[in-house]
Structure 1
Amino acid sequence: MNRFSDIVGQEQLKEHLENAIKMNKVSHAYIINGEKNAGKEFIAKTFAMALQCDSRQGIEPCQECHSCKQALGGNQPDIIFISHEKPGTISVDDIRTQINGNVAIKPYSSPKKIYIMNEGEKMTVQAQNALLKTLEEPPEYVVILILTTNVNSLLPTILSRCVVLNMKPVQDSQIKKFLMQNMEIPDYKADICVAFARGNVGKARLLAKSEEFDKVKEEAVTLVKYIHEMELNEIVTAIRKINEYKLDVNDYMDILSIWYRDVLLFKATHDANHLIFREEIQYIRKVADRSTYEGIENIISALEKSKERLSANVNFDLTMELLLLTIKEN
């Protein structure tokens, strides 16, 4: 189902798109800017379905008409998804063949002809300049939806010809409610997914479904529980194991950061109710008792520095060794 009511959070963005349909003031081009997995494509598909819906009753796509069924099946001929052969680039040829060379053909069966471009930040400057030609004089039936994780990668001339809609972090309580009601995720696991998602519903949803995330979480928690007893060779083995997982290493770092924030919180308050890893209270109490405030803050700071080093492509094994030794020392 693709309905505006299924979009979690993003009230301003939803209201803008719904009003555009209601008042018949749909722009020829939109940029939806938000984090990876935040739900940009779901919003774009919902908007496209609503614009093409045959029933014309209200704002929500009806899900039942021929157009909606085609869209749900991914074969609505007037909702076109831009593809690109090179994984890291949307080239000038991609734009010329899939948009510029196609816009003059009127819609087959719908009122609009809608182009949805994911990963808009991957457009080369030449591709953006080619797209500009269509944006400057688009046929009245054309709507272009550019989805991006980095609106600053787009030329000012592109931005000036599009309605820019920025996605905002969703409240933790809304994400938790979504996970528990829609996905039947238990309370404790929902709390952990929400803590990692940092306002990103899509990420919370992926983590909730990921068996690998559960394994990585268990490995990380086991490591921090027993690191003070481990020898250097055991730490090196643990580092190699981290590298085996397909999960983003930043997620592993976030697990460690949340654990030590729990330790800091418990040391300050002696209250387990607000801890993310509250079922590990026995070990959190031990770490809090034997660590100083300065030591815990040193660890949290080292975790942030390690994330920065890995983003700058500093050697993984060396970065992790330094980090885990800092954790052991503190």
Structure 2
Amino acid sequence: MPGFNDIIGHDTIKEHLKKAIESDHVSHAYILTGETGMGRKSLANAFAMTLLCEKGKSEPCMECHACKQVMSSNHPDLIFVGHEKPGSIGVDDIREQINDTIMIRPYSSYYKIYIVDEAEKMTVQAQNALLKTIEEPPAYAIIMLLTTNQEAFLPTILSRCVQLKLKPLKDSVVKSYLMGSLGIKESRADIYAAFARGNLGRAIHLASSEEFQLLYSELLHMLKHLKEMDIMELLFYIKKMKDENLDIYDCLDFMQLWYRDVLMYKVTQDINLLIFREEFNTMKEMSAASAYDGIERILKAIDKARIRLEANVNMELAMELMLLVMKEN
């Protein structure tokens, strides 16, 4: 379990939390918002471990009894709120795990900390039950709500919490971590970083994902030979990817990055700006054979396919319309 110094990026949030500890102005309630894999849990755990650390500084010592308890998920004053129903956190979950226990003083620390992951799943009744606790908490209590979507919260919850939103990391930061810590070669690190869009956890997952390697090889073959295939062959590829349970939105992201590279090389003629540098020869050929407005139409067609899928248009139809634009341009 990392301390603040071990967490990549999110410097503004780390500084805010550390200053709150140093100045003894820790809030009773926080909302940490960010995509899955961006580091919400790591930040919450680092904050909790620092507050519970026996040394009382703005960075956990990682050596005292309290730190070791947190690292082994065994500290009595750090409570992770769970829920039985996968789709929702009900009022009983909040009452039993927070409201009914929060007035019991901490066992071994000054603070008693509750971490609610997937907090956007709280029902309205659960949020209202939590609101009463947030409005009049005991001095030692801290509640941390971790969410991918803070818009799911009632305005009364939002107004009583310190809201901290995680921002995507720069691709260069993600790439450096992949190369330095995981030993991934630069050309692949570029692809994972671009595809993850600033989400380090997602980039790490992609680097070891067999599903992504399959998606990569299948789509690469299709895009390189797209002009030679008829529409039935292309639709076969799409059906094959569906049968292999590849995420169709990931496929669209991949295509968008590919044609972004085609356009980038056509404009700049600079191989160093490409994400798919290993495919330089193909990029050179495609950029020479494509007009600017043709590439723009393809990129718009990919966006339109995404919109159609989100509107529940038949997947095969949405993809066929997009592939026809690709073939024509």
- TM exceeding 0.5: yes
Provide the rounded CA distance (Å) in 2 between the counterparts of 1:247 and 1:111. Answer: 48
Aligned partner of residue 145 in structure 2, secondary structure: strand
Which 4+ runs in 1 deviate beyond 3 A?
A: 244-248
Alignment: residue pair count? 329
Aligned partner of residue 64 in structure 1, secondary structure: coil
One-letter identity of the residue aligned with 1:316: M
Please give the TM-score of this superposition, normalised by the length of structure 2. 0.95
Does 1:290 find its partner at 2:293?
A: no
Q: What's 1:301 paired with?
A: 300
CA RMSD of aligned residues (A): 1.5
Does 1:314 find its partner at 2:291?
A: no
Deviation (angstroms), 1:85: 1.9
Aligned partner of residue 144 in structure 2, secondary structure: strand
**Contact 1:2 1:61 (8 Å CA) reproduced:** no
Counterparts of residues 249-268 of structure 1 (less than 5 Å)? 249-268=248-267
Q: What's 1:161 paired with?
A: 160
Does 1:11 find its partner at 2:3?
A: no
Does 1:223 find its partner at 2:228?
A: no
5+ residue gaps, structure 1: none
One-letter identity of the residue aligned with 1:276: I
Provide the rounded CA distance (Å) in 2 between the counterparts of 1:305 and 1:6. Answer: 40
**Contact 1:179 1:190 (8 Å CA) reproduced:** yes
Q: What's 2:137 paired with?
A: 138
5+ residue gaps, structure 2: none
Deviation (angstroms), 1:124: 1.4
**Contact 2:231 2:323 (8 Å CA) reproduced:** no
Which segment is superposed worse, 130-139 or 304-313? 304-313
**Contact 1:216 1:245 (8 Å CA) reproduced:** no
Counterparts of residues 211-250 of structure 1 (less than 5 Å)? 211-250=210-249
The share of aligned pairs that are identical, in percent, is 53
- Alpha carbons of structure 1 residues 283 and 39: separation in structure 2 relative to 1, 3 Å: same
Q: What's 2:62 paired with?
A: 63
Please give the TM-score of this superposition, normalised by the length of structure 1. 0.95
**Contact 1:53 1:67 (8 Å CA) reproduced:** yes
Deviation (angstroms), 1:245: 4.2
Q: What's 1:276 paired with?
A: 275
Deviation (angstroms), 1:87: 1.8
One-letter identity of the residue aligned with 2:189: A
Which segment is superposed worse, 244-253 or 70-79? 244-253
Q: What's 1:94 paired with?
A: 93
Deviation (angstroms), 1:312: 2.5
CA deviation profile, 1:113-162 (whole Å, cap 9, x unmatched): 11111111111111111100100111111110001111222111111111
Which segment is superposed worse, 91-100 or 228-237? 228-237
Provide the rounded CA distance (Å) in 2 between the counterparts of 1:84 and 1:35. Answer: 20
CA deviation profile, 1:52-107 (whole Å, cap 9, x unmatched): 11233x32112222222222222222111111222221111211111111111222
Q: What's 1:197 paired with?
A: 196
One-letter identity of the residue aligned with 1:131: L
Does 1:40 find its partner at 2:40?
A: yes
Deviation (angstroms), 1:232: 2.7
- Alpha carbons of structure 1 residues 246 and 2: separation in structure 2 relative to 1, 3 Å: farther
**Contact 1:52 1:68 (8 Å CA) reproduced:** yes
CA deviation profile, 1:151-207 (whole Å, cap 9, x unmatched): 222111111111111112212222222222222221111111111122222222221
Deviation (angstroms), 1:233: 2.7
One-letter identity of the residue aligned with 1:55: K
Deviation (angstroms), 1:247: 4.8
